[in-house]
Every structure is written in structure tokens, then in C-alpha cells.
A and B are shown apart, each in its own frame.
Chain A
Amino acid sequence: MLGRFGTLIGLLLLILIFTALKPSIFPTPRNLLNILNQISLLGICAAGLTICMVMNEFDLSIGAAATFGAVLAASFLPQFHPALAVPMILFICAGVGLLNGLVVTTLGVSSFMATLGSMTVLTGFNYWYTSGSGSILYSGIPAGFLRIGKGTFLHIPYLVFFMLGVLVALHLFLNHVSVGRHMYAVGGSPEAARFGGISLRKLKILGFVTSGFLAGLTGVLLVARLGLAEPTIGDRFLFDSFTVVFLGAASIKIGQFHILGTLIGALIMGTIFNGFTLLDVPYHLQLVVEGAILITAVTAAGLWKERFKLKRRRVR
């Protein structure tokens, strides 16, 4: 029983440790909300990735797509009203996702390579659009928009609401809507899914559209929070999202990618970052700990799974 909740227990342990080390600052509601705020964007991006990973498709372009969304936001918002600019941008980002999906399903290119290619293309575009010299776009963003990134409702930041909204929506979609459940079928056994009449093509395309859309949303919200965009702004979301999603696959529903797990993974990363910052621990140590926790969590989850299965190596 313990193994299933291994990561949750780890999370609680982290919280306890940090509370013990900084009792006056860490366990305060303000700081906990701070953690949620810090992971809100990562949560949104990782949620999109989760949908793709459920179907065993890798989307490597999410980092560049987030930057893309941010760059577009920083350049459209000075000229257009947010209510017009944001949907436009999200539509474009979804379109990029659609392109990814088409290349993977119709051209038959592996998702790894297809999204590697689109990531490269997007990166080039991002650098070009920011005057090709990596300069920062920051002028002319309306104050009202910035309030989205920094404002709160009942002390809870808007961004946290965004994240929770996205997570709840995707969770319900994957678990209680037939299309979403079909995605798990596709991920579990593509052959069986096809025999069951499920269109793998359409679902995979939907997956890529979703991850592109959400990565773009992440970028837009980045601009709302930071008030600027520069060509590497979304890069960390790539590795961080994968870390979070895999941490999620080691939680509760072990071996399966799922939204709740992704949330737990994001909470773990956020807690570590927050606690370490409060303790003045340098960033490089945080990286080491992150890696160690990832390995430990997945090892524990894997070992737990082994208890109920014969020693059988994963057959490709």
C-alpha cells in the first residue's frame, strides 16, 4: 500500500523538513500560496504534455512553443486588445500543435523527431522575431493584462486558478469523457484500440493540439506575470515538464501518466524550489536534488510494481 503513495509521502516529508528548518516562514499560508503560484505555469505546460504522454507520444516542442506564445504575446498585446490577441495567439499555437500531429500521424515521422524538428523551427522563429539578437520585448503591454499575472482573488493568485482550471478540466476529460478514456486505450494498446474502432490519428492529433495550445497559454501567462518576453524564456519548461510528468507516473497510478500525478510532481518541484530558496541553497544543489528525487521516486515506484509481477522485462 505504501508504494502507491511514495511520492506523496516524499512530498509530505519535504514539507515537514522545510517546516522544521524555517518554521516562521515556510508553513505560512502566504508561502504555500507562493509555491502554488510558482508552479502554476509549469503545471499548465506539464498537463498538456501529460495528454501526449498518455498516448506514448513525446512532445519536445513545448518549451519552444511556450517561448513562441510569449513572444507573440509580447508583440501582439501592444497593438491589439487582449481579448483579441490572446485567442489569436492560442489559435496559432494550437495550429502548431496540429502541424505536429499531422507530421506524426500522416507523414509517419516519430513524435520524437517531429517535435524535435518543430522545436528547432520555433526556436529559430523566436530568435528572429525578437530582432534576431535575442533582445527582450517588454514595451507596450497593457497594465490590465499584467494584472492577470500578478493579481489575486481572495488572496489566491489568478494564475493558480488558471492552473487548477486546466488540471480539473483535463482530469475530467481523461477520466470521464469517452474521448479522453480512448486516449488511455491508445496508450495502453494501440492495436486493441484500433480494433475497437478508435481513430488513433484523430486522438493523437488532438493530443498534440492540446499540448501546443497549453504550451502557448503558458507563454502568454508568462508575459502576464513577467511583463516581458525573450527567446529563452520558455526553455526550462521542456525538461521541467518531463520531470514533473514522470514524477507523476510514479505516483498513485504507478506506471500511468495522469493529471493528478502531474500535479503531485509539480508540487514536489515547487516545494523543493521554494524551500531551497528560503534556505539560500544554491541552484546547482537544487538540480542535484531534483535529479536524485526523480530517480528515487521512480525506483521506489518500479520496485513496488515488481512485487506483484514476475520478473519480466518490459518488451517493446
Chain B
Amino acid sequence: MAPISRNLTATLSVMGDHIAPILRRYGVILSLLLLFAVFSALRPEVFPTIKNLIAILKQISLLGIISAGLTVCLILGDFDLSIAAVATWSGVLVAALLPNINMWLAIVAVLSGGIGIGIVNGVFSAVVGISPFITTLAVQTMLRGLTLWYTGGYSLYSGIPKSFINLARGTFLSIPYLVFYMLFIYLVFYVLLNHSSFGKKVYAAGGNPQAARFSGISPVKTRLMGFIISSLLASLTGVLLAARLSSGQPRAGEGLLLNAFAAVFLGAATFHAGRFHIAGTLIGVLFIGILNNGLVILGIPFYLQYVIQGSILVLAIAASRVVRRP
């Protein structure tokens, strides 16, 4: 090989050595910024406005809340497939209770139910030892049956008090309450997962359960907590969803499952490539929200949206995994 081309190859590979890690760590964020730039260029008078950005945050707020709970489970290595069904069921249950009892009582009751479901998931997955994939699959099947039985396929919309609806529709300084809820939860979880002993337990149990046990951490108890958190947040999402829709709908949670997993996995491809973490999940949620919002603003028909969303999802993750094979 002539000296020039050999140097070129060497130079390129050295450059690649430096670029690849950057792509890996920030691939998703770069993709997100790219999306933002593209959409802003295509619709400069609509997309990059404060009003639209707040709208994006509002659109993703519920997805964000449910994804935060899922993140904890995934850090522990557990797939919680039941979150959408829990959300739907919670929405239906709260809509059924609201006409009859005090609003806060209803909400607490439903959230307790969510905790109960989390306990069921956790007991079968962590204590008995069944693969969480199956447990949550089975639980979500049963919840679907329960929801279908209770609603008969119809929405529950009578007797919903305005104060409840306002929980989801109200704004403060033109920022919807929902956005505050989401940001608050992410703040709490960030502190919880990164600066508390519980968070250390979660990462320890998720990273190496054996070692965790030797350090006095109980992976079983931690995983149980993980499932409880996931179901609790899913339940909360369902309640807020019912508030936003002003009704309990038997198919309310449908898009949430896959989008939540997408968000958390996207997050795992960000910053600390390969590790689930709450900041990454927020990025993932933002990514999905921006993508969605932009495509809608561009007037792209929904089926084409699916095609684009699916492709970009995979590309974003692939971009963050660009590795130079030795």
C-alpha cells in the first residue's frame, strides 16, 4: 500500500476512534436535535414556538410518567408488560368511583389498587421466581378481561366532577399541570435513583444480584419495590388520562406500552450507553414527543407517521451503538 493511503487509513481509523464514542453517547440526543432542526426548518412559523413546545411537553407528560416507573423496573432487569393494562383499568375504575365518592378518596383507592397489582407482579416475579415477562403478560391479560367485563366495551363518562377534570386540564402560568406533574416526578426519581440508598440498591440489584446480596441488599425486596413503583405510576397515569379524557375508556392505555418501552430503551442508548437511567428516559420521551408533534404538524397521515416513527426509532438506537469492530 502506498504510504499516502496507509496514512489516510490510519488517520480515518483514529478519527473513527474518537467519533464513535461520541456518537454512541450522544447519538440519540444528536438525532433529537436533528429532528428539531428539520422540523423547525420545515415549519418555522409553527414548530419552534413556545406554544408548540409547551404542547409537546403536555402531549408527552403522561407517557413520561408511565415511562419513569418502567425505568425503575428495567434497571432491575424486569420487563413490566402490564403497565398499559394497569393504566386503562385505573382510568376505568376511577371513572366508576367518582360519581359515588369523594374525588380524593377515589384517587387514593385506585392508586392503592395499582400498588396491589404491583405487589402481585412483584410476588410472582421476584419471590416465586417466574419470568416477569410471563407474569406481567398474564396479569395484563387478566386486567384486560376485567376492564372489558366492567365496561362492556363502553366508556364511562357520567358523573365526573369538574375538579377532577381540572387536574389534567388546568394550567399555571400557561403551563399545564400535567407538565408540572411529569417534571416533578422526574426530579423525584432522579434524586431517588442517583442520590439515595434506594437508588444504589436498585442499580446494584439490577447490575449484579449475587454481589448485591453479598452486600446485604435483597434483590427480591428491591425488585418487588420496582414492580410496585411501576404499577403505581401506571395507575397514576391512568387516573390522569381519565381526567384528561373526562371519561374512563376501555382502550385508553393502548399506545402507552410500546411507546414507554421505546422511550426507556432510547434512554438507555443515551449518555451511559447500555444502562437504563431516568434522565435518558426523559430524553427518550422528548424524542418521541418531538417526532410525533413534528410529523403531525407536517400533516403526514398517521400510517406514514408509523413508518417514519418506527424507522427513526431503530436508527436512533443504532446510531448510539455504532462501534468500531476491532
Residues of A within 8 A of B (CB): 103, 107-110, 112-114, 116-128, 132, 239, 242-243, 246, 282-292, 294-295, 298-299, 302-303, 306, 313-316
Contact = CB atoms under 8 A, between A and B. Distances in A.
Contacts of B137: 239, 242-243, 246, 291, 294
A294 B307 contact: no
A212 B77 CA distance: 27
Interface string B112-130: 0000000000001000111
B303 A282 contact: no
Given A109-B318, A117-B314, A125 B141 contact: no
B310 interface: yes
Nearest to B147: A284
| Residues of B contacting A: mostly | helix
Nearest first, the 10 A-B pairs at minimum CB distance are A124-B306, A287-B145, A120-B310, A291-B142, A121-B310, A291-B141, A127-B303, A117-B314, A284-B148, A124-B307
Contacts of A246: 131, 133-134, 137
A119 B146 contact: no
B321 A109 contact: yes
Nearest to B140: A291
A116 B133 CA distance: 16
B310 A299 contact: no
Contacts of B146: 284, 288
Contacts of A120: 258, 306-307, 309-310, 313
Majority secondary structure of chain A interface residues (helix, strand, loop or mixed):
helix
B63 to A, nearest CB: 15
A287 B141 contact: yes
B314 A114 contact: yes
Given A109-B314, A295-B130, A290 B141 contact: yes
Contact of B209 (A109, A110, A128, A313): A313
Contacts of A109: 314, 317-318, 321
Given A285-B145, A302-B129, A132 B209 contact: no
A293 B29 CA distance: 43
Contacts of A108: 318, 321, 323
A116 B309 CA distance: 11
B296 to A, nearest CB: 14
A120 B302 CA distance: 11
Contact of B303 (A125, A243, A292, A306): A125
B299 interface: no
Contact of B301 (A122, A132, A243): A132
Contacts of B311: 117, 121
